[in-house]
Amino acid sequence: MIHIAIVEDESLYLEQLLDHIETYKKESGQEIKVSTFRDGEDIVEKYKAGYDIILMDIQMRFMDGMTAAEKIRQMDQEVIIMFITNMSQYAVRGYEVDALYYILKPVHYFDFSQKLGRAIGRMKKREEHYIAIPVADGIQKIEVSTIYYIESQGHDLIYTTSNGEYKSKGRLSDLESTLEGYGFFRGNKGYLINMNHVEGMRKDNCLIGGMLIPVSRLRKSKFLEALAQYMSEVIK
């Protein structure tokens, strides 16, 4: 079952979103549970990482949606956040909290259903995809979505993830085809980069988790094309 949280202080739009979700459930056959909150402060207080998708208004009385999203991201890196707003100028800040979509008010069902469907598809695609790698004391299973990048150092591979670093024997070229379908791109001969975690570009480097990862000149054009394509799918 998919668990969606709606954070909306205006009753009109709250009812509209509930109606749209009910219609979507009937059309898609998806099992969806909905929890509602009337302010960003309400969802942040005692937050538990149990939601799959959060539909977040931006303008609210006590805690605005952007501040709430920033606080939620500190506790939950996986939940999909979609902003419901009439203020599209927040798109840049939304990228900082990994917002998937902006849906403009008034919310039209067709646009809403298309973006909700894509969000659910993305959620399911990244669920329970693991790779098992040999480490010094045995085997380590790593969830693919947690990998920031993989660095080749001689005959070793260094996996930098949200849970720390892992060192394993192997070749980057073998992993490239395995991870191609999960948003990974070869930045240069020494790095395989998860595009889901790229925060931006700084000259010939991409920024991931505060680290600058070099992108070769030969690959930069294709890397930027791949990044632009990914970003166009994330924020529309």
Q: Taking the chain (236 residues) in consecutive chunks of 10 residues, what is each chunk's mean pLDDT?
A: 93 96 94 94 88 91 90 87 76 57 88 91 71 87 90 94 91 85 88 89 89 92 81 50
Q: Does 2.160.20.10 match the CATH number of domain 130-234?
A: no
Q: Other CB atoms closer than 10 Å to residue 74's CB: what's the count? A: 10
Integer Cα distance of 188 and 151 in angstroms: 10
Unique residue bearing structure tokens 């996996």: 159
Q: Does 3.20.20.10 match the CATH number of domain 2-126?
A: no
* Identity of the amino acid at 87: M
Integer Cα distance of 82 and 203 in angstroms: 30
The one-character DSSP state at 142 is E
Unique residue bearing structure tokens 């998806």: 30
Identical fold for domains 2-126 and 130-234, yes or no, is no
Whole-model pTM: value is 0.55
What integer pLDDT is reported at residue 27 of this predicted model?
94
What integer pLDDT is reported at residue 236 of this predicted model?
42
- SS3 assignment, position 219: helix
User: Which CA distances in Å does 43 have to 8, 55, 68, 116, 208?
Assistant: 11, 11, 8, 20, 28
* Identity of the amino acid at 207: L
What integer pLDDT is reported at residue 93 of this predicted model?
54
Q: Other CB atoms closer than 10 Å to residue 43's CB: what's the count? A: 24
Sketch the domain layout of the chain as residue ranges. 2-126, 130-234
